[in-house]
Amino acid sequence: MPISGYFSSIFSYFLLLLLGLIIYVLNTVLIQPYLFWRKYKKYPNVITRESFSPILGDMKDHRDSMQNNKVHYSYMKNGAEKYNKHDLRAILDGIFPTIMVLSNKALEEFLSMQVTKIDKDDQHSGVSSFIPNSLGTMKSTKEVMRRRKNTLSWVSLNSASTYIPHMLRCLERVSKEMKTKQQVDLIHSMNVVTFDVFSDILFGDDVKELVSKLYPYENPDGSTEMIELREMLIRLTKCYIAQIFHPLSHMFKFLKNRGLVNPFKRDAKNAAEFKRAILEIVKNSKEKKAAHYMFSDPISSEIEKLDEVCGVMLAGSETTSHSLVSCLYFLNKHPSTLAKLRKELKDNGFRKGQSFFELCTMEKIQSMTYLTCCVKEAFRCDIVVPRSFAYAALEDIKICGVPISKGTKIRIDLSTCHFDKNKWLDEYEFIPERHDFESEYYKRAKQTGIKPDVYSRRTFSHGMRSCPGQSFAMLEMKVAIAYLVTHLDIQFDEEQLNNKDIGFGLGSHFIPLVTVKER
C-alpha cells in the first residue's frame, strides 16, 4: 500500500473513533438526561426543573445557593412548599438521572420494596467513593446485614453510655483550649471531640500517639503538609463531597473512578494514606476495642474491614460534629431557648466542674425533656445529611404509579418534609417545644390539626438501612450540649446569626468562627 493510502486509512479510523466518542458524549451528557427530564415532566405527582439544565442538571441549585451565600442545600428548605405537593422529584445529579422520594406515600412504597426490588447502589459517588466497601454503600446481602448488626451492638444505647466519662473528658479538654483563643472554628473544635470519642471506641487509648501522629497530605497546590489523622478525615470528607460538584465527575466518570486526573488522583492518594494510617493503628492497638473485633471477622476481606472502620469513623464523627454546631448556632440565635435549657440543667443539679462529671449519667441525660427537644429541633431545622445514600431499582418498578426503570438511582429526600407546613406549625421557626407532648405549643399545634407523623422526621433516614448510630448520636449530642452550655458562652458572628439560609451540614462552605468565654 502506498504511504499516502496508509495514512489516509489511519486518518479514517481516527475520524470514526472521534465520531463514536462525540456520539457517546452527546448521548450520555445531553440526550439521555434530556429524555429522563422530559419523561418525568408529564407526571403530575412528580416535580422536575421548569427547564432542562444541561450538564449541571439540578446541581445548579446547589451552586446557585452557594453563590448567593446560602448553604448548598437551602433550596430544599426554601422550595419545600412546592416540592411537598408531589410524591417524587426527578432530578439530574449533574447528568445522572435520580428519583428523590418526597411524600410519605412514596416513602412507604419505597420501604416496602426495599431489598427485593430496591437496594443500595453506587460506590462511586461523593463520600461513598472514599469508602466504597463500607457498610453504607454495599448491597443488603446477608453478609452486609450481619456486619451492620455487629456495628449496632457496640453503638447501642447501653454500650454508648459507657463512653460518657470519656466524652466529658474530651469536652473538658476542648473547652479549655477554646477559651485560650480569640476566635474558634467551632466545626473544628467539635470535630476534635467527636473524632476523639470515636477513636477511643474503635481503637482504645493505647494508640493515642499514633492517632495524633502527623501524616503526609497532598494539597491542591502540590505541596505536602504533615497533618493529624483527624484533620485528614475532615479534609477528605470535604474533598469527596466537592467531587459531587465537579463537572468532570459527571461528564467522564471513568476519570474520577480511576483517579486519573486531579483532583480525583490527589484525593485517592490522600485517601490511601489515611487508610494506611488506620491499618497501622489497628495493627498496633493491643486493646480489644471495636476495630479489633471488626478486623477479627474471618469472613470479610481486609479491604472491606478497613473501609468499614474508616466508614464508621466518618459516619460517626463528621455528622455529629456538624450537628453540634447547628444546635449551638440555634441556641445562640434564640437566647430565651438557651436560658430555658440552662434552667432545666440547673434544676437537675448540673453545675460547672467536678459535680457535672458525677451527675452526668445516661438516665439523668435521658430524663431532661427540654434538652432532648432542643437537639431534635436542631436536627429538624438544619439537616446535616440532606439526602440518603444512593439506592437503585433492581427491576422496573412503580412508586405512586410512576414507572421507574431498572437501574435508576433513587434517594430519600431527608430535608424537605422537615419544612412541610401541613406537618409542622411555624415550619421555619426554631421551636423546641413542638417536640414536647406536654407543652402548650404542642397542644396548640395539635388543635390546628397540624402534626408530624413517623415519616416527618428523617434525619437518620428510614428502613432497614437507616442510620444504626442514631441512639449513640442522640446521646453524644445531649451530653455535649449539656456540658457546653453549662460551662461556656459561645457567640457566633452577627452576620451569620442574621443569615436565615445558613447551615452547617456536610459540604457546607460556612466556617463558624465564634468567640468563647467561660460562664
Beta-bridge partner residues of 103: none
β-strands 513-518, 184-185: how paired? antiparallel
Name the nearest CA neighbour of 317 among 278, 273, 286: 278
- C-alpha distances in Å from residue 432, one per residue of 194, 346, 429: 24, 18, 9
Q: Does 150 bind ligand HEM (CB under 6 A)?
A: no
Instruction: Determine which residue in the list 113, 155, 192, 368 makes contact with ligand HEM, applying CB under 6 A.
Output: 155
Instruction: Determine which residue in the list 365, 385, 479, 516 makes contact with ligand HEM, applying CB under 6 A.
Output: 385
Q: What type of residue is 166? A: H
CB 40 within 8 A of CB 48: yes
Instruction: Determine which residue in the list 408, 459, 486, 508 makes contact with ligand HEM, applying CB under 6 A.
Output: 459
Q: Show the binding pattern over residues 403-432: x = contacts ligand HEM (CB under 6 A), - = does not.
A: ---------x-x------------------
Using the contact rule CB under 6 A, the part of the chain among 59-67, 68-76, 223-231, 314-322 near ligand HEM is 314-322
User: Under DSSP, is residue 185 helix (H, G, I), strand (E, B) or coil?
Assistant: strand
Q: Does 389 bind ligand HEM (CB under 6 A)?
A: yes
Q: Does 139 bind ligand HEM (CB under 6 A)?
A: no
Name the nearest CA neighbour of 82 among 419, 377, 403: 419
Buried b vs exposed e over 481-507: b needs ≥16 C-beta within 10 Å? bbbbbbbbebebeeebeebeebbbbbb
Q: Does 320 bind ligand HEM (CB under 6 A)?
A: yes
425-429-430-434 Cα dihedral, nearest 10 degrees: -10
- Is 417 assigned to a binding site? no
Instruction: Determine which residue in the list 473, 479, 484, 516 makes contact with ligand HEM, applying CB under 6 A.
Output: 473
Shortest distance in whole angstroms from residue 319 CB to ligand HEM: 3
Shortest distance in whole angstroms from residue 26 CB to ligand HEM: 33
Q: Does 133 bind ligand HEM (CB under 6 A)?
A: no
216-124-133-107 Cα dihedral, nearest 10 degrees: 130
Shortest distance in whole angstroms from residue 519 CB to ligand HEM: 25
Using the contact rule CB under 6 A, the part of the chain among 10-18, 171-179, 253-261, 459-467 near ligand HEM is 459-467
The smaller minimum CB distance to ligand HEM, of residues 132 and 263, is found at: 132
As given in the structure block, the three cell numbers for residue 71 are 448553604
For binding to ligand HEM (CB under 6 A), which residues are involved?
A: 135-136, 148, 151, 155, 312, 315-316, 319-320, 323, 384-385, 388-389, 412, 414, 459-461, 465-469, 472-473
In the annotated binding site for heme, the residues are 467
